[in-house]
Amino acid sequence: MKIPEKYKFIVELGKALHTYGIPSYKIQSYLTEVAKTQGITGSFMDSPTWINYVFYEDENSYNYIECIPPGSLNLGALSRIAELTNKVIDYKIDNEQINEELNIIHAKTKLTNHYQLTLAYAFSAGSFSILIGTNWISFAFSLLLGAFIYLLVYLSSKSKYLVNVFESLSALIVTIICCLLTLIFPNFNLGLTILASIIIFIPGLAITTALEEITSKNLVSGGAKLFDSIILLFKQFFGVLLGLALMTSLIDIDLTYHVSEMPKWTIFFAVPVLSITLLPIFQVRKKDMIFGVLTGVIAFFMTVLLSGYGVLVSTFIGTLTVVGVSRLFGFISKTPKTVFLIQGIVMLVPGSKSFMGLSNSFFNPNTTTGSGNLFEQVAFILMGIIGGLLFAGTFRERSPKKYKLETKK
């Protein structure tokens, strides 16, 4: 069915907002406000796999539904799309220019620097291994395995089969390699290196985003995203479980062995490096990079400074701080605060703790209590983040504006 020309730009705008990872409740709010600025009465519903547009004309209505694959987080495109949406709302752009701007945004997302991404994946794994307490040998191999993971990412873009099995396959290959390394290096930290190598894919942020949508009463989209995130976590865990099962049947592996010998001062380098590695992975715009890194660093060290008050309180206050800092940086840079907020929340999310809790439960039965504490910490961190977002007013509607509808002669 052909889309009426006067509605086409709203449909394209909704598709772009969905594709680049803006939460459903924000997409619906944006589209409703854009429609009002154009004198259009409409109702919109976004889910992870489709968008439903309903436009009302007197006593008639026009309904358009489009199936769209789940969006992937791209903060650069998200920033540009949000800015474009605000231009429409503030009457700074006409309908013809909207399509031109969208084409430019789509073209920029296709530009890929493989060298930068390889370094980003490598140092994200390496810096995270320092944060969780490792040794120099494990740190070095975390770097190499992180770069290897990006090779798998690149290969998966060439094959639909690899895309479907990527999470489990990458975890399986990394686990097998790490098990073989224990034969050569007795001081090799097996579990921590596996975790660091695949940390970029552990869906802590996805789980947090899903709970954010559920909290905003967007139950269909939030529930679907939460279930998808949990399945993604289990797919990765299955790869690790299968790899360890295969290797322990062939060689003798001590799953509980751990040596931490990194100097404590290295954490002060690891935190900003980890935050910097997120920039090319999320395709953050150059003008937003410094503020994005600062937000991530502030988020991490705020929770560390307040750790004496417990994980719930420290995460709650850390989230409030991240929201406040994001709004400040958004005001200064004229960039949507969501761009900085996500980079800060990434440093708080409990994906790694969830994975470690699963690992302890299955591979080390003697640590049942420790595993229970880990899952308790995961719950507290999630509650702290969602509570912080809620009390900071993240879910409130955009302030209503007085629309000056112009009629074309």
Has residue 356 got a pLDDT over 70? no
130-149: per-residue pLDDT in tens?
887 888 999 999 999 999 99
Task: Look up residue 389 and give its two tokens.
Answer: 């977002």
| 8 Å CB contact between 262 and 139 | yes
- Quickly state the pLDDT bin for 408 (edges 50, 70, 90): very low
Beta bridge partners of 56: 41, 61
Task: Work out the percent of the chain whose per-residue pLDDT is above 90.
Answer: 14
330-349: per-residue pLDDT in tens?
889 888 787 888 888 888 77
21-24 CB contacts, 8 Å cutoff, 24+ apart: 21/71, 21/72, 21/73, 21/74, 21/75, 21/78, 22/71, 22/78, 22/81, 22/82, 22/338, 23/209, 23/212, 23/213, 23/216, 23/218, 23/221, 24/48, 24/213, 24/218, 24/221, 24/222
State pTM to two decimals.
Answer: 0.81
Residues 308-317: what's their mean pLDDT?
84
Has residue 270 got a pLDDT over 80? yes
DSSP-derived letter for residue 191 is H
DSSP-derived letter for residue 113 is -
19-69: per-residue pLDDT in tens?
887 788 888 888 888 888 878 888 888 888 888 898 887 777 888 888 888
366-402: per-residue pLDDT in tens?
443 344 465 676 677 777 777 887 777 665 555 544 4
Residues 35 and 58: their CA atoms lie apart, in Å, by 15
- Quickly state the pLDDT bin for 299 (edges 50, 70, 90): confident
268 CB neighbour count, 10 Å cutoff: 11
